[in-house]
Amino acid sequence: MDHTPQAPTIDAAMQRALDLAARGPAHGPNPRVGCVLLAPDGTTLGEGWHRGAGTPHAEVAALTDAHTRGHDTRGATAVVTLEPCNHTGRTGPCTRALLDAGITHLVHAIDDPGATSGGGAATLRAHGIHVQAGTRATEALELVRHWHHALTHHRPWVTLKTAITLDGRIAAPDGTSRWITGTEARTHAHTVRARTDAIAVTTGTALADDPALTARTPAGGLAGHQPLRVVVGHRDLPAGARLNGPGGEVLHLRTHDVDEVLRVLHEREVRHLVVEGGPALGAAFLAADAVDELHAYVAPVLLGEGLGAVAPFGVTTLADAPRWHTTAVERFGADVLVVARRAPGEPARRTMTRTTTPEA
Ligand SMILES: NC(=O)c1ccc[n+]([C@@H]2O[C@H](COP(=O)([O-])OP(=O)(O)OC[C@H]3O[C@@H](n4cnc5c(N)ncnc54)[C@H](OP(=O)(O)O)[C@@H]3O)[C@@H](O)[C@H]2O)c1
C-alpha cells in the first residue's frame, strides 16, 4: 500500500507552494521557490519559501518549520515548485537535507535547468525516493520565467519598455518627452523597476533627459530594491548627472554591441533586464532578436512627427515585421499598458554561448 497523499491534496499543496514562492523577491539571482511537506494522511507538516540569495532554500525552510512545530518528517512527501538542488552553492544541497529528514516522496513542478544545480530528482530516485514531476508546471515556469530563461539561454530575459503616443512617438520634434504618459502609468513603471535586476538606457537618452533611473514608491521615496543602472554608449556623462545620485549601482558600458551588454550582465547574474530606450538601443536589441517581452505604455496623444519608439532595425516590408502576441492589457488612468511576447510563452531566439553558469 502506498502511503502518499491523494492527487487533489497534492494539487492543493502545489498551489499553496506556488503562493508561498510568490512571496520571495522577483529580482535577484535565485528563483522563487515554495515547498509544502505533507504527512501520509495529507496533513501539512511544514511550509517554506526562498527569501533570496544566501538564505535557506524552500525545502530547508519547510523542514525547519516542520521540526520547529515538533513534527516527524520521516515518510513525508515534499511538494516543491522547482526540482530540489543537487549542489553546494551559497547553501548546501537540498537533496541531502531531504534525505537526512527521511522524506520518501517528492512532487516537483518543473526541473532545474542548471548545469550543476539540476539533477536533484535523479539523485533522490537513486536513493529510493519516489519522484513525480510536472504538477502545475505552467504556473511554476511563469513564476521563475526570468531565472529559467537566463539559465537556458545564457543571457537575461529582456523587456523592451516604451512610453508612446498613439502614433508611436516617444518625443516631439523639439525633443520634449516629459511626460507622454500620466502619473498612474509612470507609477506602475516604477513598480516594475523595483522588481527587476537592471535597467538600460543609451548615453543619448541619459544626456537628453538626465534620468535618475531609480525605482520610486508612489510617495516619491526610493523603493527598497534598486536595479542596476546600465548606460550604453561611448560618450561620457557629466559628473553632475542625476544618475550619479542615490539609487542602484551605475554601470557604463562603452559599446554598441548587444551581445557584449548581455554577456556582461549575465556574468553579473542579471536575470531580467528592462531596456528603457532610446530608439537606438531598442532597435539594436530587436535586430539581435534579443527582446523577449514588450511593455508599451500607450497614451491617447498624437504628435504627427517626432522620434519613433525604435530606430530602424531591418524591416523594409510588412511581412518581415516580427509579430508579437499580446499577453496582457492594463489600464492606468488615461493610458494603457500592452504587454506582448514573441509567441505564446516563448522567448526571443537569441541564445548566447555559455561562458559561465552563475547559479544559486
Ligand atoms: N518615451 C520613451 O519611452 C523614451 C525612452 C527613452 C528615450 N526617449 C527619448 O529619446 C530621446 C533620445 O534620443 P536620441 O536621439 O539621443 O537616441 P538614443 O537612441 O537615446 O541615443 C542614441 C545614442 O545611443 C548610443 N548608443 C548606444 N547603443 C547604441 C547602439 N546599439 N546603436 C547606436 N547607438 C547606440 C550612441 O551614443 P554614443 O555616441 O555615446 O555611443 C547613440 O548616438 C530623448 O528625447 C528621450 O526623451 C523616450
Quick check: helix, strand or coil at residue 216? strand
Distance 162 CA to ligand 1 centre (A): 12
* Grid cell listed for 118: 539540476
- Assess contact for 232 and 261: CB atoms under 8 A: yes
Question: Residue 2 and residue 4: Cα distance in Å, rounded?
Answer: 6
Phi, psi of 288 (to 5 degrees): -85, 0
Q: Which residues pair with 275 in a beta bridge?
A: 160, 200
Total-model pTM: 0.94
Question: Residue 87 and residue 221: Cα distance in Å, rounded?
Answer: 39
Quick check: helix, strand or coil at residue 299? strand
Distance 7 CA to ligand 1 centre (A): 54
Superfamily of domain 7-145: Cytidine Deaminase, domain 2 (3.40.140.10)
Predicted local distance difference test score (pLDDT) of residue 91: 66
Question: Residue 238 and residue 260: Cα distance in Å, rounded?
Answer: 24
Q: Which residues pair with 232 in a beta bridge?
A: 202, 253
Length of the chain: 360
Question: Residue 206 and residue 202: Cα distance in Å, rounded?
Answer: 6
Query: Any residues with Cβ below 6 Å from ligand 1, and which?
Result: 162-163, 170-171, 175, 177, 180, 202-205, 208-209, 232-235, 256, 276-281, 284, 307
* Grid cell listed for 143: 513564476
Predicted local distance difference test score (pLDDT) of residue 345: 61
Ligand 1 atom closest to the CA of 280, numbered from 1: 19
Which residue is closest in CA terms to ligand 1's atom 45? Answer: 175
Torsion of CA 319, 285, 53, 145, to 10 degrees: 0
CATH pick for 154-342 out of 3.40.50.720, 1.20.140.90, 3.40.430.10, 1.20.120.550 = 3.40.430.10
Phi, psi of 230 (to 5 degrees): -110, 130
Question: Residue 176 and residue 180: Cα distance in Å, rounded?
Answer: 9
Q: Would strands 293-299 and 228-232 be described as parallel, antiparallel, or unpaired?
A: unpaired
Question: Residue 174 and residue 110: Cα distance in Å, rounded?
Answer: 51
Point out the catalytic residue in the list 47, 59, 83, 359.
Answer: 59
Give alpha helix (H) positions in 157-309.
183-193, 203-209, 258-267, 279-287
Predicted local distance difference test score (pLDDT) of residue 177: 93
Q: Break the chain into its structural domains and give their ranges.
A: 7-145, 154-342
DSSP per position, 20-84? HHTTS-SSSSSPP-EEEEE-TTS-EEEEEE--STTSPPHHHHHHHHHHHTT---TT-EEEEEEPP
Predicted local distance difference test score (pLDDT) of residue 151: 95
Predicted local distance difference test score (pLDDT) of residue 360: 47
Ligand 1 atom closest to the CA of 258, numbered from 1: 31
Element (H, E) at 139: helix 137-143
10-residue stretch averages of pLDDT, the chain, 360 residues long: 77 98 96 97 97 93 97 97 85 89 97 89 95 97 96 96 98 94 97 98 96 95 97 97 97 98 98 96 97 97 97 95 94 98 72 60
Ligand 1 atom closest to the CA of 279, numbered from 1: 19
Quick check: helix, strand or coil at residue 338? strand
Among 165, 203, 303, 310, which is best to mutate for testing ligand 1, by the most ligand atoms less than 8 A from CB?
Answer: 203
Which residue is closest in CA terms to ligand 1's atom 31? Answer: 256
Q: Cβ of 260: how many Cβ atoms within 10 Å?
A: 13
Does the annotation count 293 as an active-site position? Answer: no
Question: Residue 309 and residue 264: Cα distance in Å, rounded?
Answer: 25
